[in-house]
Chains A and B, each alone.
Chain A
Amino acid sequence: QKEVEQNSGPLSVPEGAIASLNCTYSDRGSQSFFWYRQYSGKSPELIMSIYSNGDKEDGRFTAQLNKASQYVSLLIRDSQPSDSATYLCAVFSGGYNKLIFGAGTRLAVHP
């Protein structure tokens, strides 16, 4: 079992729809959770961080954390073609004492 798992996609959604990206992690003691966006040929860019159970909203983005289910998700409302990118979930694992990245989910928003 990988420490951080994401569906590789591609996840295809129409413009204006809600894109839902999911991530599960194995270390129950994980403390910090992050979502990064990476455009093709570019470096990862931090878009959200979440530390406690529940929802955290920032503009069109909402991060959701459920530590009991070891699950973190990212919702993108009113998806735009410019949101097309790979989204990386990252979890700080106390067991490994490092930030562990998932392999990423490729999102394609079509007009």
Chain B
Amino acid sequence: NAGVMQNPRHLVRRRGQEARLRCSPVKGHSHVYWYRQLPEEGLKFMVYLQKENIIDESGMPKERFSAEFPKEGPSILRIQQVVRGDSAAYFCASSPNLVDEQYFGPGTRLTVT
């Protein structure tokens, strides 16, 4: 069984460019979560999605960040006009239900130069 997959694993962008991070959940999981982790810091919740719906985006910055989980295909976290402060590890997790354990993907490490 494939776990959560994320790509790319490493992404380098210049300031002002766009970053697109992809996440394919565990097969059968309809709940997807995105987290950000800065070096030596804890996990910060960003957004929770179910198929075609954003359920909770309370952790998303108001500007430049967006997320989707279409009916077909992976979940996408999109960061427009990246700045150096966006450099972090971005983890995706999925679960079969909201109250169940979440399984994490390997993460995408974004570096903004």
Residues of A within 8 A of B (CB): 31-32, 34, 36, 42-46, 49, 88, 90, 92, 97-104
Q: Which of B63-71, B74-82, B94-102 forms contacts with chain A?
A: B94-102
Since A92-B98, A99-B102 are in contact, a sample of 12 more A-B pairs with Cβ atoms closer than 8 Å, ordered by chain A residue number, is A36-B104, A42-B106, A44-B104, A46-B101, A88-B42, A98-B45, A99-B33, A101-B35, A101-B43, A101-B45, A103-B42, A104-B42
Q: What 1/0 mask marks residues of chain B from 32 to 44 whose CB sits below 8 Å from any chain A CB?
A: 0101000001110
Contact of B101 among A31, A49, A103, A104 (CB under 8 A): A49
B residues 1-48 near A (Cβ < 8 Å) are 33, 35, 41-43, 45, 48
Q: Which residues of B contact A31 (CB under 8 A)?
A: 99
Q: What is the CB-to-nearest-CB distance from A109 to chain B, in angstroms, rounded to a whole number?
A: 20
The answer to whether A32 and B100 touch (CB under 8 A), given A44-B91, A97-B56, A98-B45, is yes
Interface centre among A98, A102, A103 (most CB of B within 10 A): A98
Q: Interface of B with A (CB < 8 Å)?
A: 33, 35, 41-43, 45, 48, 56, 91, 98-107
* 21 A-B pairs in the complex with CB atoms less than 8 angstroms apart: A31-B99, A34-B101, A34-B102, A36-B104, A42-B106, A42-B107, A43-B91, A46-B102, A49-B101, A88-B42, A88-B43, A92-B99, A97-B98, A98-B56, A98-B98, A99-B102, A100-B45, A101-B35, A102-B42, A103-B42, A104-B42
Residues from chain A with a CB closer than 8 A to the CB of B56 are 97-98
Contact A44 B43 (CB under 8 A): yes
Of chain B, the residue at the smallest CB distance from A86 is B42
Chain B residue, CB-CB nearest to A102: B42
Cβ of B101: which chain A residues have Cβ within 8 Å of it? 32, 34, 46, 49
